[in-house]
Amino acid sequence: MESPELKASFLSRLTWHWMGAMISTGNKRPLEMSDLYELNQEDKAESCEQRWNECYEKEGSKRVLRVILRFLGVKFFLLFILRPLWLAALILQVYVIKELIHRSRLKSSRTWSDFLLVAGLFFLAQSQSLCNIWMFSYGWRYGVRLRAAFSMAAFNKMLSTRTAEFSGSLDSLLFNLVNSDTQKLIDCLCLLPYEAGIATLAGVAWTVVVGILMFYVAKYMGHLARRKHSHSDARVGILCETLAGIRIIKFNGWIPLFMKKINNARAGEMKWISKLAMISTIMYILKDSIVPFACLFAFGAYIYHHKMLDVTIAFVVLSFFSILARDSICFVYGLPQISNALVAVERLQKVLNLPNSLQTSKSKKTSNIFAIELLDCNFARNISKGINPKPIHMQIQKGILAGLIGKVGSGKSSLLYGILEELKLTQGSLFVEGNIAYSPQQPWILNDTMRNNIVFGSIFDNKRYDNVVAACALNHDISMLPNGSDTEIGERGVNLSGGQKARVSLARACYSTAPIILLDDPLSAVDASTAKYIVDYVLNGILKGRTVIMATHSIISLQACDEIYLLDTNNGIKHILSSSKDIKHEMELVSAKTELNASQYSKLDNSKGGIVKQETMESGNIKLSHYLEYLHIAGWSTFLIIPIFILGQGALLMNMHKLMVEKVFRSPLLFFDQNPIGRLLNRYSKDQAIADETLPSLIKQALEGIYASIGGLVLIGILVPWFLLTIPLALGILIYVRQQYISTGSALKRLDAISQSPIFAHFTETLQGAVSIRAYNNQKRFHDQLVKLVDNNHKAYILYVHASRWLSTRLDFVTTLSITVAAFLIVLLRNYISPGLTGVILVQTLKLTDVLQIAIKRTVEAESLFATNKSEPRILSSNWPAAGSIEFINYTLAYREDLPAVLNNISFKIFPLEKIGIVGRTGAGKSSLAAAMFRMVENMACSGTILVDDIDIKTIGLDDLRQRLSIIPQDPVLFSGTLRFNMDPFGKNDDREIHEALIRAHFSSTQSYKNFDNGLDGQITSSGTNFSVGERQLLCLSRSLLRKSKILIMDEATAAVDNDTDQIIQATIRASFQDCTVLTVAHRIQTIIDNDRVLVMEAGRIAEFDTPKNLLKLTGKRVYKPPALLEDGIKLFVYEGKYDLICNWLQSYVEANV
């Protein structure tokens, strides 16, 4: 819908009359995004980005402030012309009122010139109002454009910079920069034109003194703001990785620990927020001292020389100092905002100064033989440490499949990162001919449809798509989705199993037309029959003829390789095999990676085909309960006195943040599946910044206006009681105008908040998948998506500003009309009113209507910002569970009340110290058993009982229960902090015990640990990115060994490690957990073949529960081993000497299939 602003007349633009249709619509029904007007060309993100790039090229990266000034251009600085006009209109009002007082003293008869003065007063007041509103409006509009330019510049830098550069706090700095820092620029540009007039009144000595004091106070506030922002970045960084690892945190019962960590970070931030509040109080005290002290000095000097104070002179002096006070208010508000904006500029400069990885070290050269050449190369995250002590020399011919093998931490993934230029080339030469497609070890899945995740921006070809889906064994999975390929996949693939995510990532690489494919352990998360299928139809099928480098632990996939390279931490890379035929003998001596079907339940909403909820907010006016809750959190007495409110807001903000953390982190897992991380971080960054800075200021100004109004009314009521009759009319009109605006204004603010969250979510998702985006050369598509999201947000935000100006023009008109009526009455009743009362009436009317208007504006703004914003558990003994028995009794579980049950009335018992394997197909309910054990899902659709050592787990506190159990997940999760913290978050173990756990899990033998600085005090980066996935898995095993729980659940815990390491880990688990009950969700046969019993799940029910030997004897329908695995199973059992199992298996297979 085209904006009426484009065709509006001059008068309509001047008064924002063209916004009337939008205001009217908002009063009739809640506004939606479809109701919003299209943006003007200059307000669009693409135009803002283009202008920023032009300015940036001219100024260079070291001069961001000058880039901003060039970006704003001459038009912005023309706004400063309005400032002298505003001041002239204000001063002329004083002389008009002075003349009215003078004529009142003379008691002369009324003439037409008296009414001309009244008309002049109306014209000057209205002119002053319009100058003020236009300065604010266009300052804000330029700020919005600059915010778009900032966001696009930061996003482009993120896409062109190696992921390693964003380690530490830079990722949280980026989020805060885009969300809260850009708002500070808008605030600054709104108030900057007001700063021009202060010099015109600097001749008063007291003003000079106060001005100097204010300058140094504001300078100190800038220092405090920098410290505050560094703590804000740290808090958001902790929140980001906590939300990303929320599953493992809940599984381990670490919620109190991480809540404490977040609240501690918040306390550090609050220290500086409180200091800023105190300094802000000093600024307000200095501001409020200007008029009384200046008048005191001026009147004192006048009386000293003239003995008598004339009423007219007193009024003029008081009026001029009131003007001075207005200027000082702008000065008070302006200096901190300018200081904050300069801090934001410094932070943007830090991001823009990051090295650009697209200024590449990779070269292309024409070759008829090799697609990739690494000539004595070494790569590093930083200059000091390469990934391998010896240079890597490798030449990959075109059209071959090269396998890359090596132990955990040998550098396989790092080598692929080096080819992708995600690591810095520190030595040698790298040549790559052709584009690259990449499938990472930890699949990156978009919050988008299944089809878009696979096609990934390429041209859609239905035949090609069908071939790829079939080759990657996704047909069955897609057929089970509610809307097939059009089904929405949740953020990070939360509604897909690990195997499904791996196959979607593989399908993306296969669908691309890139001649070079890099695969990082693509089969680790799939079962053996699917792995064999993928080998046949992907590696030996649709990828034939393309150059493929595959890092793998899978023996099955190595059979398809034309060449195999062994990467060793100490000895570099070795070309060990040139044909898969050379390894037939070696394969017979290595335990085959023979797997059972194992996938997680797909938590899809069958009615809608999606899991992520659309963000919604309450419509209509803000309820009284919201304000009462705000007052309750702060403490009612806080609001009785404004200075106490300013000084006491720290308790309010701390309690509010603590309550928000408590409510969110105590939410069920479904809440995190339905709400993307970006949306939640938006609440903890931008919305928290509003609560920290904007909301308290608005409430303070509203309270100040209310108190001043009460004081003015009392004074007028005492001196001129009959004049109070005019106040209800003015107040009634003001409230009516407010009510006309409030529905539309609040709705637009809600739409602004809702449309802002996708921007943050897009930043988060892009940062997580930046490696894949660069590998597929998809930067432009993600850039264009951000342009659309920013434009969508600006539609709501700019209209919110226009609606606010619509309100301001009408409130100011009522104020002007009130002053005019007062002046008119004074002219009519001149003979009945003394000159002194005339001055009091005019001054108090001017002040009263002004403060009433300010109070109404601030309450409206505050209300808009508000739009954005059991039984006692059983006391356990210290050694519970002592035995480790588990019993499910008629247990049913559904992830939501409107979804089918995933566990259907199951009953079984696990005896103390038993080792239980859990197998089953996709959706069988294996992972749901673990979710039930840890009470991750609790709703009205769940029923039945789970007993652990004969105690119903529903009677146990959640944290207590989860801290007594242990789980080793498929996706290893680490957190920023020391190695000691990641091993022992509660600090219950000494260094000797921690080292012993690291040794038993074989982590201490990895090269990364040997190179790790400072031992247990060494720093692990966010998400553990300074370790490989396999090494992270070993650390998670070490953590479980240290925890010494009586019950352990392993969810495909060795999927990311090589077979030799897997054998060692299994031996460690058997030895270390022999006195524990162990439940193992299994892929590899050797993982469960020695278990006491195997639990076979089918469609949420127990199909079989018996010993492995008895299960292999089963005949008829329930032969759960696919025929494709028969040969691999026999080889495994020959290697392990289990000839009796071979005979039983062969017999059951023949009876069932021959």
| pLDDT recorded at residue 626 | 47
The b-or-e profile of 209-222 (16+ CB within 10 A means b, else e) is: ebbeebeebbeebb
CA distance linking residue 1119 with residue 165, whole number of Å: 52
DSSP structural state of residue 72:
H
Q: Out of 220-224, 513-517, 1143-1147, give the one with best mean pLDDT.
A: 513-517
Segment among 175-189, 757-771, 1122-1136 with least mean pLDDT: 1122-1136
Read off the pTM: 0.67
Residues of the chain with pLDDT > 90: what percent? 7
Residue 638 has pLDDT above 70, yes or no: no
Residue 434, sorted as left (phi over 0), alpha (psi -120 to 50) or beta, turns out to be: left
Report the half-sphere exposure of 508 (CA within 13 A, side-chain side).
31
Dihedral pair phi/psi, residue 910, rounded to 5°: -115, 125
Q: At what angle do helices 677-689 and 642-665 cross, to 10 degrees?
A: 170
Residue 629 confidence (pLDDT)? 47
Q: How far is CA 480 from CA 212, 322, 611, 816, in A?
A: 71, 73, 15, 68
pLDDT band at 63 (very low <50, low <70, confident <90, very high): confident
Instruction: Return the CATH number of the domain spanning residue range 437-513.
Output: 3.40.50.300
pLDDT (tens digit, 9 = 90+) per residue, 773-800?
Answer: 988 988 899 999 999 999 998 898 889 8
For the ranges 296-305, 530-539, 865-874, the lowest mean pLDDT is seen at 865-874
SS3 1152: helix
* Of the ranges 225-229, 724-728, 841-845, the best mean pLDDT one: 225-229
Q: Which of 759, 984, 585 is nearest to 155 (CA)?
A: 759
- 397: three-class secondary structure by DSSP: strand
Query: Mean pLDDT, to the nearest integer, of 73-86?
Result: 75
**Interatomic CA distance for residues 1028 and 440, integer angstroms:** 12
- Interacting residues of 1137 by C-beta distance below 8 A, sequence separation 6+: none
pLDDT at 625 over 70: no
| pLDDT class of 130 with cuts at 50, 70, 90 | confident
Query: Which pLDDT score, from 0 to 100, does residue 767 have?
Result: 83
CA 833 to chain centre: 63
Residue range 363-370: average pLDDT? Answer: 65
Who wins on pLDDT, 927 or 801?
Answer: 801
- Write down the number of H helices and E strands in the chain: 40, 22
Residue 642's pLDDT band, with cuts at 50, 70 and 90, is very low
Q: How many whole angstroms separate alpha carbon 855 and alpha carbon 853?
A: 5
Structural contact between residues 910 and 886, judged by C-beta atoms closer than 8 angstroms: yes
Let me know the angle formed at the C-alpha of 322 by 321 and 325, rounded to the nearest 5 degrees.
90
Is residue 468 over pLDDT 90? yes
Q: Which helix (H) or strand (E) holds 404?
A: strand 401-405
CA-to-CA distance for 969 and 1036, rounded, in angstroms? 8
pLDDT of residue 967: 84
**Cα 240 to the center of its chain, rounded Å:** 7
Tell me: pLDDT of 377 over 50.
Answer: yes
Of residues 179 and 376, more confidently modeled: 376
Check pLDDT > 50 for residue 588: no
pLDDT at 705 (0 to 100):
61
In terms of Cβ atoms closer than 10 Å to its own Cβ (0-12, 13-18, 19+), residue 1085 is buried
Q: For position 1125, what pLDDT does the model report?
A: 39
Query: Which residue from 297, 290, 240, 301 is spatially nearest to 265, judged by alpha carbons?
Result: 240
390 vs 552, which has greater pLDDT?
552
Higher pLDDT, 716 or 23: 23
Predicted confidence (pLDDT) at residue 62 exceeds the cutoff of 70: no
- Strands, sheet with 572-577, edge to edge from the N-terminal-most edge strand: 436-439, 516-520, 547-551, 401-405, 563-568, 572-577
**pLDDT band (50, 70, 90) for residue 310:** low
**Residue scoring higher pLDDT (1154 or 443):** 443
Asked if 4-355+624-866 and 886-1106 have one fold, the answer is no
| Residue 1070: Cβ within 10 Å count | 12
Least confident of 306-320, 355-369, 708-722: 355-369
- What is the assigned CATH class of domain 4-355+624-866? mainly alpha
Which pLDDT does position 318 carry in this prediction?
66
DSSP 1057: S
Of 3.90.1300.10, 3.40.50.300, 3.30.1360.200, 3.90.1280.20, which CATH number belongs to 369-420+517-522+547-597?
3.40.50.300
Token digits for 1063?
């054998």
CATH (residue range 886-1106): 3.40.50.300
Neighbour count for residue 7 (Cβ, 10 Å):
9
The whole-angstrom separation of Cα 845 and Cα 847 is 5
Rounded CA Rg of the chain? 35
Give residue 553's identity as a one-letter amino acid code: H
Q: What integer pLDDT is reported at residue 332 of this predicted model?
A: 52
Q: Of the ranges 243-247, 512-516, 814-818, which is most confident?
A: 512-516
The whole-number pLDDT of residue 509 equals 93
Most confident of 176-180, 493-497, 1125-1129: 493-497
Angle at which helices 64-77 and 45-59 pack, to 10 degrees? 120
* Helix or strand holding residue 802 (H, E): helix 779-828
Triad 27, 29, 32: Cα angle to 5°: 115
How do residues 885-920 score in pLDDT, each as one tens digit?
A: 999 999 998 876 766 778 888 999 999 989 888 887
More confidently predicted of 1130 and 1031: 1031
CA angle at 451 for the pair 445 and 457, rounded to the nearest 5°:
80
Pick the residue with more confidence: 426 or 872?
A: 426
> Kind and range of the H or E element at 805?
helix 779-828
CA distances from 862 to 476, 855, 914, 1085 (A): 53, 10, 60, 62
DSSP string, 897-953: TTS--SEEEEEEEE-TT-EEEEEE-TTSSHHHHHHHHTT---STT-EEEEEETTEEG
Angle, CA of 1071, 1075 and 1081, to the nearest 5°: 75
Helix (H, G, I), strand (E, B) or coil at 349: helix
Q: How high is the pLDDT of residue 546? A: 92
- Rounded to an integer, the average pLDDT of 848-864 is 59
CA distance 645 to 638: 5
d(C-alpha 404, C-alpha 651), whole Å: 57
Q: Which residue has the higher pLDDT, 945 or 275?
A: 945
Q: Which of 541, 539, 540 is nearest to 552 (CA)?
A: 539
Report pLDDT for 723: 64
pLDDT band at 1123 (very low <50, low <70, confident <90, very high): very low
pLDDT above 80: residue 216 = no
512-520: average pLDDT: 92
1036-1072 residue pLDDT tens: 888 888 877 888 888 776 666 666 667 777 777 778 8
More confident call, 310 vs 501 = 501
Please report, rounded to a whole number, the percentage of residues in the chain having pLDDT higher than 70. Answer: 64
Instruction: Check residue 291 and give its pLDDT.
Output: 65
Residues in the chain: 1154
- Which of 429-438, 710-719, 813-822, 863-872 is modeled with the greatest confidence? 429-438
Peptide bond before 881: cis, by omega within 30 degrees of 0? yes
Query: What is the average pLDDT across 585-613?
Result: 40
DSSP string, 450-491: HHHHHHTTSPP-HHHHHHHHHHTT-HHHHHHSTTGGGPBPPG
Average pLDDT over residues 454-479: 90
Cα 250–chain centre separation:
20
DSSP 991-1025: HHHHHHHHHHTT-TTSHHHHT-TTGGGPEEPGGGT
Contact 376, 206 (CB under 8 A): no
Q: What is the pLDDT of residues 978-1010, one digit of tens each?
A: 888 888 888 888 888 888 888 888 777 776 777
Domain boundaries along the sequence of the chain:
4-355+624-866, 369-420+517-522+547-597, 437-513, 886-1106
- What's the pLDDT tens digit per position in 941-951? 688 899 998 88
